[in-house]
């Protein structure tokens, strides 16, 4: 067993390292975590979601942003790169960090075997601390399955699930209905 102590970083130290890094890392309460590579299916679903949402929101005050946009969940000390973020209105950034968003309206995570438990539990728990967040969407990369949590006015979260490619999922906070067939276009589950 190693007795080596962990080095804890301040958020400012993390952001400085991240500015110079070749690869993205997430940060949580003093520790950095390198992000793993993605499967072809994961990459396709993210691209499909960006395309579908870009078209559907073209004339809206809301815009989708790709997984290069870092999000800061200030109340819990999480800095992360969701697969897709949707912001309505003006983008607001962490003070002194123009590329760290603090006001997402919708966060979309594409689930993979290595991240699914974290995305469902601790990450969603952290995301709920964002006052601006109205919906959290999880898209399976192993089968057709889209899950959506919507924040109700009383602060509770309403759950909906769709599992057939001919279905749609409605994102109430951005008044947008997304076809599952579009999210899973060209995705071949037989390779998984």
3-class secondary structure, 57: coil
Longest distance between any two alpha carbons in the chain, whole Å:
57
Q: Quick one: pLDDT at residue 177?
A: 98
Query: Does the pLDDT value for residue 127 go beyond 50?
Result: yes
The pLDDT of residue 2 is above 70: no
**Average pLDDT for the chain:** 92
Tell me, what's the pLDDT at 6?
61
pLDDT, position 5: 42
| Per-residue pLDDT at 7 | 75
In a domain? residue 49? yes
DSSP states along 122-188 = IIHHHHTT-TT--EEEEEESSSS-EEEEEE-TTS-EEEEEE-STT-EEEEGGGTEEEEHHHHTTT--
What's residue 34's pLDDT?
84
In the chain, % of residues over pLDDT 70: 96
d(CA 82, CA 123): 10
Contact (Cβ atoms closer than 8 angstroms) between residue 78 and residue 72: yes
Identify whether 168 is part of a domain. yes
How many Å apart are CA 107 and CA 69, to the nearest integer? 11
Which range marks the domain in which residue 141 is found? 39-191
- pLDDT of the residue at 192: 58
Q: What is the CATH number of the domain that holds 107?
A: 3.90.1570.10
Q: Do 99 and 70 form a contact (C-beta atoms < 8 A)?
A: yes
Domain membership of residue 18 (yes or no) is no
Please give the DSSP secondary-structure letter assigned to residue 24. Answer: -
Q: Is 60 contained in some domain? A: yes
Looking at the domain assignment, is residue 88 inside a domain? yes
Average pLDDT over residues 29-45: 89
Is the confidence at residue 64, as pLDDT, over 90? yes
The verdict on residue 14 lying in a domain is no
pLDDT tens per residue, range 136-152: 999 999 999 999 999 99
Per the structure, how many domains does the chain have? Answer: 1
The DSSP annotation for 71-105 comes to: EEEGGGTEEE--SEEEEESS--EETTEEEEE---S
């Amino acid at each position: 067993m190693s007795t080596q102590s962990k080095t804890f970083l301040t958020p400012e130290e993390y952001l400085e390292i991240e500015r110079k890094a070749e690869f993205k890392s997430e940060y949580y309460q003093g520790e950095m975590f390198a992000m793993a590579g993605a499967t072809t299916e994961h990459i396709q679903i993210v691209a499909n979601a960006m395309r579908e949402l870009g078209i559907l929101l073209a004339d809206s005050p809301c815009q989708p942003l790709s997984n290069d946009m870092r999000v800061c969940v200030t109340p819990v000390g999480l800095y992360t790169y969701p697969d897709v973020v949707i912001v309505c209105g003006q983008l607001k950034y962490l003070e002194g960090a123009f590329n760290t968003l603090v006001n997402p309206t919708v966060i979309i995570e594409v689930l993979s075997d290595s991240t699914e438990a974290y995305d469902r539990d601790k990450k969603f728990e952290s995301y709920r601390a964002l006052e601006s967040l109205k919906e959290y969407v999880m898209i399976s990369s192993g089968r057709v399955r889209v899950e959506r949590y919507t924040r109700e006015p009383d602060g509770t979260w309403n759950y909906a699930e769709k599992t057939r490619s001919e279905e749609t999922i409605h994102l109430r906070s951005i008044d947008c209905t997304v076809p599952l067939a579009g999210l899973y276009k060209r995705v071949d589950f037989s390779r998984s």
